Structure 1
Amino acid sequence: MELNRIEKLLENYFQGETNLADEQELKNYFASGNVAPNLKQYQSVFGYFSEAKNEKFTKEIVIQNKKKNTVWLSIAASVTILLGVGVFSYLNMETKNKTTGELGTYDDPEVAFRETQKALNMVSENVNVGIKSVEYVNEYQESKNLIFK
């Protein structure tokens, strides 16, 4: 009778339908020396559970302090940013000094007048192109008003 009950409990155990009392009964049965020969294959499973319960982790875990690395990393990043800003400022000031000296320094008034006329012609041409574009917009607006009225 007991063998039939153990087989039924074992079947329920593998289907996940047992409670803690049923599982304890199975553990006790397989821990005893009187295990049926056809159920010997399951003895190692329940024997493992009782052994695993007694295992303890004894290895020491060493935690490394990463604070030193972050301090050096932040210092290196700060130095890199400062160098980048310094190089950019130096190159920008050098370029500014070169271009500032070249603008508006004409000794001859006639040459200055001609250069001014060239600059104003260029501005005038660009403004005329913009005005032509605005004419297209006005034409579109008039066409739209005629269609939708």
Structure 2
Amino acid sequence: MELDKIENILEKYFQGETTIAEENQLKEYFSSSNVAQHLEQYKPVFGYFSQVKQQKSTQELENLTLTGETIPLKTKKRNLVWLSIAASVVVLLGIGTFFFAGEENNTTAVASQSELGTYDDPEEALAATQKALALLSNKVNVGIESVQYINEYEQSKNKIFKQ
């Protein structure tokens, strides 16, 4: 009679329809030594729970000291300390690089400012100014040519879509 009851509960278990009390009955049955021969194959499934329970209880025993107090587990505070040290080093390197690069740019800017506008000969200054304006004019003309392509595109689009 009990074997039929266990088989019915087992069938309900695999269909996911058991209650907690029925699952406890299965755990008790499969943890006992008198399991039916044809149900031996299910013993590891329900034996797992008792093994985990035993492992947990042995770990708790290992954590006890002679006085009966528990030993605190190691926290990850040490990793946090190393992480904060690494972050500080990165910030300091960033600040140092910023100031070092800033000083280098300041020295080159001072040197280039001293070279600007130092023509003694007016004809030489006129030639340099004309050269700079010709370069600027050339670049502006290239930009204007690009705008002309856009105008042609707009005209073609208007012809196709007839606004």
- Taking the TM superposition and a 5 Å limit, the aligned residue runs for 1:19-38 are 19=19, 20=21, 23-24=24-25, 27=28, 31=32, 35=34, 38=37
| Relative contact order higher in (CA < 8 Å, ≥ 6 apart) | 1
1:131 is matched by which residue type in structure 2?
I
Query: Residue in 2 aligned with 1:69?
Result: 82
The Cα of 1:30 is off from its aligned counterpart by 6.9
Change in CA separation of 1:119 and 1:21 when aligned onto 2, cut-off 3 Å: closer
Change in CA separation of 1:116 and 1:82 when aligned onto 2, cut-off 3 Å: same
2:25 is matched by which residue type in structure 1?
Q
User: C-alpha offsets along residues 44-91 of structure 1, whole Å, 9 cap, x if unaligned?
Assistant: 767776676565132442224234323322321221112111111111
Change in CA separation of 1:26 and 1:9 when aligned onto 2, cut-off 3 Å: farther
1:103 is matched by which residue type in structure 2?
L
Q: Which moved more, 1:98-107 or 1:44-53?
A: 44-53
1:63 is matched by which residue type in structure 2?
T
Q: Unmatched 5+ residue regions in structure 1?
A: none
- Taking the TM superposition and a 5 Å limit, the aligned residue runs for 1:1-149 are 5-15=1-11, 16=13, 18-19=18-19, 20=21, 23-24=24-25, 27=28, 31=32, 35=34, 38=37, 41=40, 53=53, 56=57, 57-58=59-60, 59-60=62-63, 61-66=73-78, 67-146=80-159, 148=162
Residue identity (%)? 31
1:10 is matched by which residue type in structure 2?
I
Task: Report if the CA contact (8 A) 2:27-2:47 is conserved.
Answer: no
Higher-Rg member (1/2): 1
Pairwise CA RMSD: 3.8
User: Which TM-score applies when normalising by structure 1?
Assistant: 0.67
User: Which TM-score applies when normalising by structure 2?
Assistant: 0.62
1:27 is matched by which residue type in structure 2?
E
